[in-house]
Amino acid sequence: MPSRATVMRVTISACGTAYYAGLVAKYWLEHIARVPVEIDIASEFRYREAPMPEGGLAVFISQSGETADTLAALRYCKANGQHIASVVNVHTSSIARESDSVLLTLAGPEIGVASTKAFTCQLAALACLAIGIGRARGTISREEESKYVEGLMEVPRLISTLLRDESQFVDLAQQLSQSRDVLYLGRGVSYPLALEGALKLKEISYIHAEGYAAGELKHGPIALIDDNVPVIVVAPEDELFAKTISNMQEVAARGGQLIMISDSDPVAAGCEQAVHISVPKVNPLASPLLYAIPVQLLAYQTAVSRGTDVDQPRNLAKSVTVE
Ligand code: M6R
For residue 280, is pLDDT > 70?
Answer: yes
> Using an 8 Å Cβ cutoff, are 215 and 222 in contact?
no
114 CA closest ligand 1 atom index: 16
318 CA closest ligand 1 atom index: 14
CA 94 / ligand 1 centre spacing (Å): 15
The model carries a pTM of 0.96
For residue 203, is pLDDT > 70?
Answer: yes
For residue 1, is pLDDT > 60?
Answer: no
Q: Per-residue confidence at 270, pLDDT binned at 50, 70, 90?
A: confident
Q: pLDDT, tens digit, for every residue of 22-69?
A: 999 999 999 999 999 999 999 999 999 999 998 899 999 999 999 999
119 CA closest ligand 1 atom index: 10
C-alpha dist (Å) from residue 308 to 57, 159, 323:
41, 25, 27
CA 115 / ligand 1 centre spacing (Å): 6
CA 42 / ligand 1 centre spacing (Å): 12
For residue 2, is pLDDT > 80?
Answer: no
* Closest C-alpha to 44, from 11, 85, 79, 87: 11
Cα 150 from chain centroid (whole Å):
21
CA 10 / ligand 1 centre spacing (Å): 21
For residue 218, is pLDDT > 70?
Answer: yes
CA 44 / ligand 1 centre spacing (Å): 16
The pLDDT value given to residue 322: 84
118 CA closest ligand 1 atom index: 3
Distance between first and last Cα of the chain: 30
Q: pLDDT, tens digit, for every residue of 101-133?
A: 999 999 999 889 999 999 999 999 999 999 999
- In this structure, the residues whose C-beta lies within 6 A of any atom of ligand 1 are 15-18, 62-64, 67, 70, 113-115, 199, 203, 316, 319-320
Alpha carbon dihedral 16, 278, 260, 249, in 10-degree steps, equals -150
What residue owns the CA closest to ligand 1's atom 4? Answer: 62
CA 100 / ligand 1 centre spacing (Å): 22
Over residues 157-161, the mean pLDDT reads 96
Q: pLDDT, tens digit, for every residue of 59-105?
A: 999 999 999 999 999 999 999 999 999 999 999 999 999 999 999 99
The pLDDT value given to residue 252: 93
The pLDDT value given to residue 55: 87
Instruction: Please give the single-letter amino acid code of residue 172.
Output: L
For residue 198, is pLDDT > 90?
Answer: yes
For residue 208, is pLDDT > 80?
Answer: yes
